Every structure is written in structure tokens, then in C-alpha cells.
């Protein structure tokens, strides 16, 4: 009777999940059939496999390009889903997958480095080994940060996403430096399933079979981990060994897939999520249901990409991101509340009794950084401190950048404080939550509509993008009680869409894209006096509104009831804060691009220094953020003189290790 009930509750969800998988696979098969019939008439299909020596080019294409592509799509999709299920269960984290853990990016970065410096390693096995080393380094780093004594799922994902972005930034710089031959075009960015033979299919099927065997062996002990480490240990499971083995398995599988087809995001996340949404609970059910769903998803996406009437090839990895991200955004509000604990306190331990002397010290640092940025620079003869008429000549090139980065850093920091306090999420920031990405998406959409929009239009488009992204985040947050994982998912979705679009632009090989890509990397190169002044003016207006936010920032975290009781119009206040945050983010993103992390870092630095009350926290964060951005811009244009590293990219490099350190210390 009881066994029967169990079977029914678990049986029908598995069937539901299988139906989804079947539907996806059928759709993929249908589209594949359409593609195949364009090459070879359906009547001749039996001959495809029968006659090995066919010289007909279309049969050859079907056999060596189209069919292996379908198979590789299925295998890679299934493999990513499998890796996703393993990662998610071992790390007890519904968001874990090769892309969000930084594993794919680590593998890809290792491949880029190897290709650029050791171009002789072309054969598959060694490339796979190198990809594995990169993936391993990434997962170790992420685990080290997310796994100190207690396992913190959110922290781990943030570390993973950060490692991904960091690896992407590093690869971006490497590609920049080697752009003379345009070798980078297909080096970084999105996975492509284009095949010209069965090699990748054979390799992948071998790896997948091996992984499946391992999963069968590890399945039972892994399933027992669900009841908790102590319980599993009591049942005779060697917990650390099982975890380690499972992680190694998923990492190796991800590395193989990256070395075969490049980076493909979302499949490892979406397939298990869909399986769970269909109701599968047990691990074995997920192992059964997720891989077919992943296979169907990836293959279907790939077929859609091929059928789409685009003049040039869209990388499949970019397409999964472009299709998957909105899907994720649509699914998010409908997902069950996650098991991850909701909010963490934004307040730190130590509180400064008298913040003013520290603020003065902060001002001194800011002044020092600004004077260096204005007066110290490089010439062909080395470093030189400019003064007098020479300085007067140089200043018009320097002050707009200094002013603009100062304001942008300050605005991002202020936005970070607002976000962290309104969502009670210590990891909230314009960059992590995708508000910067929203702003950048707004600009890209505008550029598709208008060839050369005026600065005012640009500001309007970025503000609209940022406001939409933040409104979406708040809507999702309100439904889920501001569960950090959901908010982070939104950010990941926006960020992935943006990098997918960037990959499509990069793959075009058009040198005019360099300017747009430069902006996306955070270059302040084209900053003019008038643009800097507009940024400063808008920035000062917005920052002047911040004191109005002080009271709501103290009261809102106490809850809606208390806020009402204290006479606050909660909705109106929230909308006001939202618009302020969007405006700050948009103005800053226009100046320094969507990737800086200063909005995350500065509020934390201020908080760790002991600034707790909203106004002091805001002031200190703005000082810190502004100083970091100015320093990043200055160092970025001096260190590898006469070449330059974009300020946003360089700020991420500066902020990265510090941020990971903070993240680890937060336990």
C-alpha cells in the first residue's frame, strides 16, 4: 500500500518529465528532418547509412556534418544536464551547473591560453586534459570560497559566476592583444556545434557512457547524502570521498564538453530545473529525466539556430543563452520556493562610533588617487609627474576620464548600497543582479533601432533597461520573499543574455564592433569634456536625492507592517528607490560599461570599515567606489603603456580577488 503510494507519487512526475523530454526530442527530430530533407530527399534517407563510399556532396554533408551535429547536440545536452544534476545534488544547490560554477569558463580560459601560447597542442586528448585542468582550478577556487565549514550555496554560485566573468575578462584581454590576426574571433565566447566528422561524437559518447557508469555506481551513496552528512555517514557512506568523486566526475564531464563544443550555458541549469518543475524529487528520477530533457533542449535550439534566416552563423552557445535566459526569467516566478535560506543580515559586526574621522581619511585617499590620475603618467621615457604648461596640455585628456570614472564609481557604489539594503541581500549590486546588464541591453537594442543615437537617447535607453531589470528583480523578489538565489538567477539571466549578444557581435569579425566591445569592457577612452560634464551633472543630481532615501533605508528592512505603522507609503517609496537605483546604474553604465563590480565591492568595504547607518554607509561607499574607479582608469591607461586596459575590466581585476576574499570571510 505504502510502496504503491510512493511509486505513484514518484512515477507520474517521472512520466511527466519524460513527456516533456519526448516533446522536446520530437520537436528537435522534426526540425532535423526538415534540415535533412533540404540536403537529401527523404526517399534517399536509407542510403545515408548504407552506402559508405557515396561521392555525392549532399549525402556527404548530411552524413559528416548534419547527422554528427545532431548527435553531438544530443550528447552534449545530456552530458550538461547530467553534470548539472550531479553538481546540484552534491553541492545542494539548485543553481549549480558547469556555467554558473565557473567550470566551463575555467576550461575555456585554459584552452584559450594554451592555443595562444602553445598552439601545437591541437590534438583532442591533450586539449581535453588542458580543459580539465582549467575546470579543476575553477571548481577548486569556487569550492574554497563557498565551502568553509558550512556549505553556502549562494556564496558558491556568486563565486562561480564571478570566476566565469573573471575568466571571460581575462580571455577578453588575451584576445585583444592577439587581435592582429583575428584569431580570437572564435576563441572565446559561445559554443558552436558545427561538426565535420564523427570524432567529437565518438569522443563525447565515450565520455558520456563512462560518466553514466560512474553515476550508477555513485547513485546510491549520492542519494543518501540527501538525508544529511551525519545520517549518510551512519549508513556507511564515506561522505567526503563520495562528494569528491562526484565533483571530479561532473568537472571532467564538463571539461570534455567544453573542449568538444565550447561553452554552452543554461542547459545544465534548465534541464534539471524542468525535471524538478515536472515534479521529480528523487535523485534517480532526476538522473533519468534530466539528460533526455537536456539533449532535447540543446538539439532543438541548435536546429532552430540553423533554420533561422540569419545571414551569418549564430553560435549555438549564444542561442541557448538568448533563448534560455528569457525562459528562466519566465519560469522564475513560477518556481517553488527554494530550500535555500532566505535573507542574510546586511549589517556587519563592528560599528564605528564616530564615522567622521574615517570619512575624512577616505577623502584624503580619494584626493591622493585623483592627483595621481591627473598628474602622474607615462611617456616614451618612463613615468613622469607633469606640472606647469605640460600638465595644462595633458589635463584636457585626463580630467574628463577622471571626472567621469569618479562619478560613475560613486553612483555604482550608491546603487549597490540601495540594492543591498532594499533587498536585504548582501550580494546585491548592479553588476551581480544584472541591472548593469539590463542597462547595456537597453543600449544595444537602441543601437539596433538607430544607427547613431544622441547621448540623450542613450541615457534614456540605458535607464529604461536598468529600470526594467530592477523592476523585474523586485517583482521576483516580492514573490519569493527576496530569496537571494532567485535574485541572483535573474542577474545571471540578464548577464548571460548580454554576453551572448556580445559573442554574436564578436563573431561577426567586423572591426567596427571594437568600439562597442570596448565600451562593454568598460573603456572610458572616448570620454569628452561635455560627456564627462553631463555624467557629473546627472550624477550630482541623483546623488543629491540620496539623503531622501536615508529614512526609508532604515525603516524598510523592518518589514512592510512596521513601515506602514511608521507612516510610510511603502509602494511609493519602493518605486522611488527603484527609479533612483535605475538612474544611478544607467548613468554609470553609460560611462564605464556593464562590468565593474565596484557596486558590489564598495558597499562591502565601507561596511567592513564599520560604516553602518545608511547615510554614513552611503557616503563611505561612494568615496570608496569613486576612488577604485579612478584608480582603475589611471592604472589601466598607464601599466601597459601605450596600450590600455579598459577601466571597467581593470576594476574587475582589482576588485576580483578582494571580493572573493570578502566572500570567504563572510562566514
Partner 1 sequence: MRIGRRAFLASLAALAYGMPVARAGLPAARRIVALDAPSTEMLVTLGMEPLGVAGLEGYRQAEGDIAALRNSLDIGFFYEPNLELLQFLKPDLFVNSFGIGAPAALLKRIAPVLSVPVYGGPGSSHEAAAGALRRIADRMGRQAEAEAFLATHEERLSTLGEMVHARRLRPVYLASPLLDGRHVILYGRNSLFDDVLRRIGMRNAFGGQSSPWGIASLGIDKLTEKREAAFIYIESPVTRTALKALDASAIWKMLPFVKEGRIVSIPYLEMYGALPTADRFAGILESLLDRGALDAG
The answer to whether 35 and 66 have CB atoms below 8 angstroms apart is yes
* Residue 291: its H or E element: helix 283-307
Residue with cell 517583482: 475
Contact region with partner 1 (CB under 8 A), list: 3-11, 239-247, 576-584, 634-642: 634-642
Q: Provide, rounded to whole angstroms, the least separation between the CB of residue 33 and partner 1.
A: 19
Q: What part of residues 147-176 is at the interface with partner 1 (CB under 8 A)?
A: 176
Q: What part of residues 640-659 is at the interface with partner 1 (CB under 8 A)?
A: 641-644
* Helices and strands per DSSP (H, E), number in the chain: 26, 2
Give me the 557-596 binding string for partner 1, x by CB under 8 A, dash otherwise.
----------------------------------------
Q: Provide, rounded to whole angstroms, the least separation between the CB of residue 64 and partner 1.
A: 4
Q: How far apart are CA 103 and CA 582, in angstroms?
A: 32
Q: Provide, rounded to whole angstroms, the least separation between the CB of residue 63 and partner 1.
A: 8
In sequence order, what are the residues at sequence separation of 6 or more whose Cβ sits closer than 8 angstroms to the Cβ of residue 189?
262, 263, 315, 317, 318, 499, 502, 503, 506, 507
205 closest CA partner among 305, 73, 331, 95: 73
Tell me if 523 contacts partner 1 by CB under 8 A. Answer: yes
Contact region with partner 1 (CB under 8 A), list: 179-187, 204-212, 483-491, 598-606: 179-187
Q: Provide, rounded to whole angstroms, the least separation between the CB of residue 110 and partner 1.
A: 15
Contact region with partner 1 (CB under 8 A), list: 45-53, 148-156, 405-413, 505-513: 505-513
Q: What part of residues 610-629 is at the interface with partner 1 (CB under 8 A)?
A: none
CB-wise, 84 or 184, nearer to partner 1? 184
Tell me if 518 contacts partner 1 by CB under 8 A. Answer: yes
Give me the 376-415 binding string for partner 1, x by CB under 8 A, dash otherwise.
-xxxx------------xx-xxx-----------------
Strand runs (DSSP E) across 546-662, as ranges?
none
Q: Which of 1, 5, 57, 360 is close enough to bind partner 1 by CB under 8 A?
A: 57
The answer to whether 102 and 162 have CB atoms below 8 angstroms apart is yes
Tell me if 271 contacts partner 1 by CB under 8 A. Answer: no
Contact region with partner 1 (CB under 8 A), list: 310-318, 462-470, 484-492, 556-564: 310-318
User: How many residues of this chain bind partner 1 (CB under 8 A)?
Assistant: 56
Q: Provide, rounded to whole angstroms, the least separation between the CB of residue 388 and partner 1.
A: 12
633 closest CA partner among 432, 434, 386, 376: 376
Q: How far apart are CA 584 and CA 616, in angstroms?
A: 18
3-state DSSP percent of the chain in helix, strand and coil, to 5: 75, 0, 25
Q: Provide, rounded to whole angstroms, the least separation between the CB of residue 517 and partner 1.
A: 9
Q: Which of 43, 49, 117, 120 is close enough to bind partner 1 by CB under 8 A?
A: 120
Q: Provide, rounded to whole angstroms, the least separation between the CB of residue 226 and partner 1.
A: 41
Q: Which of 10, 44, 313, 554 is close enough to bind partner 1 by CB under 8 A?
A: 313
- Torsion angles phi and psi, residue 347, rounded to 5: -75, 145
Distances (CA, A) of 638 to 17, 367, 634: 56, 19, 6
Q: Provide, rounded to whole angstroms, the least separation between the CB of residue 407 and partner 1.
A: 20
The answer to whether 467 and 578 have CB atoms below 8 angstroms apart is yes
250 closest CA partner among 124, 93, 88: 88
Q: Provide, rounded to whole angstroms, the least separation between the CB of residue 305 and partner 1.
A: 12
List, as own/partner pairs, every contact residues 289-292 make where C-beta atoms lie below 8 angstroms and the sequence separation is at least 24, other chains included.
289/14, 289/17, 289/18, 289/21, 290/17, 290/81, 290/82, 290/84, 290/85, 291/77, 291/78, 291/79, 291/81, 291/82, 291/85, 292/18, 292/21, 292/22, 292/24, 292/25, 292/78
Number of residues written out for the chain: 667
Q: Which of 195, 203, 254, 462 is close enough to bind partner 1 by CB under 8 A?
A: 195
Q: Which of 526, 548, 560, 562 is close enough to bind partner 1 by CB under 8 A?
A: 526
Q: Which of 93, 164, 190, 192 is close enough to bind partner 1 by CB under 8 A?
A: 192
Binding site for partner 1 (CB under 8 A): 57, 60-61, 64-65, 115, 119-120, 122-123, 176, 179-183, 185-187, 192, 194-199, 311-313, 377-380, 393-394, 396-398, 507-512, 514-515, 518, 523, 525-526, 528, 637, 641-644
Amino acid at each position: 500500500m505504502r510502496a504503491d503510494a510512493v511509486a505513484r507519487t514518484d512515477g507520474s512526475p517521472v512520466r511527466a518529465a519524460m513527456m516533456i523530454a519526448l516533446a522536446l526530442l520530437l520537436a528537435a527530430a522534426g526540425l532535423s528532418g526538415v534540415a535533412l530533407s533540404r540536403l537529401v530527399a527523404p526517399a534517399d534517407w536509407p542510403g545515408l547509412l548504407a552506402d559508405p563510399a557515396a561521392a555525392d556532396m549532399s549525402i556527404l554533408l548530411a552524413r559528416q556534418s548534419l547527422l554528427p551535429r545532431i548527435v553531438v547536440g544530443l550528447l552534449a545536452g545530456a552530458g550538461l544536464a547530467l553534470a548539472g544534476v550531479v553538481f546540484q545534488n552534491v553541492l545542494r544547490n539548485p543553481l549549480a551547473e558547469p556555467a554558473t560554477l565557473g567550470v566551463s569558463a575555467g576550461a575555456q580560459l585554459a584552452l584559450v591560453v594554451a592555443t595562444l601560447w602553445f598552439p601545437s597542442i591541437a590534438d583532442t586528448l591533450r586539449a581535453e586534459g588542458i580543459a580539465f585542468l582549467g575546470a579543476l582550478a575553477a571548481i577548486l577556487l569556487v569550492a574554497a570560497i563557498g565551502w568553509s565549514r558550512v556549505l553556502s550555496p549562494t556564496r558558491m554560485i556568486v563565486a562561480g559566476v564571478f570566476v566565469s566573468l573573471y575568466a571571460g575578462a581575462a580571455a577578453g584581454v588575451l584576445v585583444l592583444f592577439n587581435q592582429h590576426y583575428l584569431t580570437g574571433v572564435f576563441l572565446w565566447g559561445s559554443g558552436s556545434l558545427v561538426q565535420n566528422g564523427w570524432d567529437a561524437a565518438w569522443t563525447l559518447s565515450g565520455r558520456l557512457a563512462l560518466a553514466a557508469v560512474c553515476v550508477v555506481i555513485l547513485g546510491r551513496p549520492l542519494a543518501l547524502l540527501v538525508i544529511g552528512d551525519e545520517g549518510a555517514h551512519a549508513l556507511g557512506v564515506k561522505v567526503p570521498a563520495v562528494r569528491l568523486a562526484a565533483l571530479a566526475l561532473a568537472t571532467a564531464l564538463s571539461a570534455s564538453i567544453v573542449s568538444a563544443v565550447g561553452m554552452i550555458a543554461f542547459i545544465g541549469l534548465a534541464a534539471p530545473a524542468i525535471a524538478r518543475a515536472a515534479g521529480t524529487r528523487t535523485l534517480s528520477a532526476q538522473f533519468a529525466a534530466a539528460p533526455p530533457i537536456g539533449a532535447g533542449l540543446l538539439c532543438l535550439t541548435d536546429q532552430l539556430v540553423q533554420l533561422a534566416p540569419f545571414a551569418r552563423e549564430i553560435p549555438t552557445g549564444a542561442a541557448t543563452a538568448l533563448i534560455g535566459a528569457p525562459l528562466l526569467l519566465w519560469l522564475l516566478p513560477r518556481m517553488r520556493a527554494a530550500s535555500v535560506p532566505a535573507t542574510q543580515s546586511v549589517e556587519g559586526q563592528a560599528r564605528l562610533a564616530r564615522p567622521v574621522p574615517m570619512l575624512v581619511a577616505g577623502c584624503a585617499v580619494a584626493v591622493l588617487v585623483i592627483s595621481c590620475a591627473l598628474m602622474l603618467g607615462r611617456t616614451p621615457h618612463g613615468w613622469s609627474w607633469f606640472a606647469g604648461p605640460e600638465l595644462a596640455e595633458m589635463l584636457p585628456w585626463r580630467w574628463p576620464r577622471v571626472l567621469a570614472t569618479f562619478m560613475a564609481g560613486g553612483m555604482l557604489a550608491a546603487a549597490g548600497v540601495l540594492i543591498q539594503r532594499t533587498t536585504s541581500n548582501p550580494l546585491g549590486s548592479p553588476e551581480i543582479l544584472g541591472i548593469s546588464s539590463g542597462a547595456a541591453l537597453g543600449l544595444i537594442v537602441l543601437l539596433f533601432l538607430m544607427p547613431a543615437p544622441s547621448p540623450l537617447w542613450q541615457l534614456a535607453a540605458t535607464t529604461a533597461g536598468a529600470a526594467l531589470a530592477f523592476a523585474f528583480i523586485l517583482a521576483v523578489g516580492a514573490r519569493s520573499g527576496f530569496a537571494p538565489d532567485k535574485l541572483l538567477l535573474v542577474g545571471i539571466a540578464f548577464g548571460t543574455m548580454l554576453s551572448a549578444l556580445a559573442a554574436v557581435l564578436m563573431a561577426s569579425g567586423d572591426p567596427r564592433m571594437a568600439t562597442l566591445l570596448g565600451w562593454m569592457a568598460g573603456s572610458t577612452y572616448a570620454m569628452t569634456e561635455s560627456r564627462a560634464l553631463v555624467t557629473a551633472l546627472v550624477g550630482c543630481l541623483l546623488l543629491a536625492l540620496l539623503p531622501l532615501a536615508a529614512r526609508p533605508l532604515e525603516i524598510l528592512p523592518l518589514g512592510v507592517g512596521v513601515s506602514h505603522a511608521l507612516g510610510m507609503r511603502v509602494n511609493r517609496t519602493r518605486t522611488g528607490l527603484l527609479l533612483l537605483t535605475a538612474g544611478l546604474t544607467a548613468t554609470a553604465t553609460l560611462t564605464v560599461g556593464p562590468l565593474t563590480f565596484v557596486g558590489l565591492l564598495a558597499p562591502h568595504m565601507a561596511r567592513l570599515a564599520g560604516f553602518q547607518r545608511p547615510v554614513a554607509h552611503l557616503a563611505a561607499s561612494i568615496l570608496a567606489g569613486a576612488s577604485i574607479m579612478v584608480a582603475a582608469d589611471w592604472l589601466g591607461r598607464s601599466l601597459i603603456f601605450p596600450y590600455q586596459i579598459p577601466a571597467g575590466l581593470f576594476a574587475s581585476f582589482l576588485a576580483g580577488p578582494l571580493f572573493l576574499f570578502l566572500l570567504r570571510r563572510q562566514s
